[in-house]
């Protein structure tokens, strides 16, 4: 189902049920999964793979050369998961570096004018609100939410189930399960509403609240807080938070 005004390279691989709307351009090395739709004026190029049941809205650009000054004429990739929705004017750039990838997971929602730069990894079920922008090498874990007009510095990590409030400037890592906002951004507590909506138990939420107090309200430095958390966390969420804090970080943890 390809509109007569669309330009689709004969070597592109389109699965059964793909729809390509008016004035779309699909490049030579593009693969699009079953039942996915490019509504109109969408450009997909580079070595790009789009999963099944994806919807891409008008004027989005996927797989363009990265804006990184180090980018060369290498073969690198853009990968979009299943059931993801990409709204108007969103841009997702392919990676810098041979055989490297920019990855968007399953069930994501990227609203209008969002930007995902080179070498980013966006997890599953992530929501990026209008005009949210993430620079190169950013990692966003599963189920995180990024508010409108947020700017995320390169190499930052945003943890699972975290929420970043609108218009925040994020220059350091946001730990999982917490809420951050402001310019400069600060962590303001647990993402309690999001956790309840995701059916976290009251026991797990209480453990995460205690972890927040140890990290942000007890006067401990990060090393001391990690030592205390090692002795106290028992839930899967608590262990994930601890692992995030202990993992190598280019930017450090947001305080």
Asked if 136 and 66 touch (Cβ cutoff 8 Å), the reply is yes
How does strand 91-93 pair with strand 61-64? parallel
In this structure, whether the domain defined by 7-195 belongs to CATH 1.10.238.10 is answered with no
Asked if 65 and 46 touch (Cβ cutoff 8 Å), the reply is yes
Q: Please, how many CA atoms are within 13 Å of residue 127, restricted to the half-sphere of its CB? A: 13
For the chain, the domains span 7-195, 197-246
Per-residue pLDDT of the chain (255 residues; tens, 9 = 90+): 999 999 999 999 999 999 999 999 999 999 999 999 999 999 999 999 999 999 999 999 999 999 999 999 899 999 999 999 999 999 999 999 999 999 999 999 999 999 999 999 999 999 999 999 999 999 999 999 999 999 999 999 999 999 999 999 999 999 999 999 999 899 999 999 999 999 999 999 999 999 999 999 999 999 999 999 999 999 999 999 999 999 999 999 998
Quote the pLDDT of residue 255.
85
Instruction: Tell me the whole-structure pTM to 2 decimals.
Output: 0.97
Helices (H), the chain: 192-197, 202-216, 222-232, 236-246
Gap between the Cα atoms of 124 and 144, Å rounded: 9
Gap between the Cα atoms of 92 and 117, Å rounded: 6
Place of tokens 């956790």: 195
CA angle centred on 17, ends 16 and 23, rounded to 5°: 115
Neighbour tally for 41: CB within 10 Å = 19
């Amino acid at each position: 189902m390809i509109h007569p005004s669309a330009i689709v390279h004969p070597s592109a691989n389109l699965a059964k049920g793909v729809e390509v709307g008016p004035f779309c351009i699909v490049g030579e090395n593009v693969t699009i999964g079953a039942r996915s739709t490019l509504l109109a004026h969408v450009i997909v190029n580079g070595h790009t793979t789009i999963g099944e049941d994806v919807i891409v809205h008008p004027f989005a650009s996927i797989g363009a050369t990265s804006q990184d000054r180090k980018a060369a004429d290498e073969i690198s990739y853009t990968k979009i998961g299943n059931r993801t929705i990409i709204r108007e004017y969103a841009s997702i750039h392919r990676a810098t570096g041979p055989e490297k990838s920019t990855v968007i997971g399953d069930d994501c929602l990227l609203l209008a004018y969002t930007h995902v730069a080179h070498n980013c990894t966006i997890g599953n079920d992530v929501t990026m609100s209008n005009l949210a922008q993430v620079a190169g090498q950013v990692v966003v874990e599963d189920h995180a939410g990024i508010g409108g007009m947020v700017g995320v510095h390169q190499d930052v990590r945003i943890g699972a189930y975290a929420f970043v409030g609108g218009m925040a400037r994020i220059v350091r890592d946001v730990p999982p399960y917490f809420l951050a906002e402001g310019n400069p951004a600060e962590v303001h507590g647990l993402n309690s509403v999001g956790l309840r909506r995701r059916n976290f138990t009251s026991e797990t939420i209480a453990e995460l609240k205690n972890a927040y107090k140890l990290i942000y309200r007890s006067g401990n430095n990060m090393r001391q807080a990690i030592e205390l958390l090692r002795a106290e966390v028992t839930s899967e969420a608590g262990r994930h938070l601890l692992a995030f804090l202990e993992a190598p970080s280019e930017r450090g943890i947001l305080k």
